[in-house]
Structure 1
């Protein structure tokens, strides 16, 4: 594996908690730029998480609008119109008196 990918894999192991902390501390002493790279990767993961949350929120708002927005009134009117039609055709409700 290329050294850059191996480094990224190690940083991911640290950030996901699969790397022992003692090993990580030793590597930090040997490579001073590792901490900066790990922080940059952590910030990237956080930004991706926030973007995913934002997208999910937008999708849920769209679903909510479709279910409970203007269409709901249209659905309710359609159902009551159907009930009115049935009742008007029923002789008991259609006859005078």
Structure 2
């Protein structure tokens, strides 16, 4: 799972956005199936997918998904957890750019 996630992130960084989105979409489904909807790794996979949506100029999908990740992270991990702080900050930044 980690290797496939790293590959997807590498695709995104290389500008291979379609491949990144396709692989991360599969990864999210795998994380949900193996670990459940509320596992921190599943939340991270969703955040990675949102970032890939944004880079692929699928802004509405990116913001909607990251808003859900932020809400879920806040509920499950708390306001001050580093993952919550990171996704909430990214969501605010994306909103400022829109």
For normalisation by structure 1, the TM-score amounts to 0.29
Structure number with larger C-alpha Rg: 1
For normalisation by structure 2, the TM-score amounts to 0.28
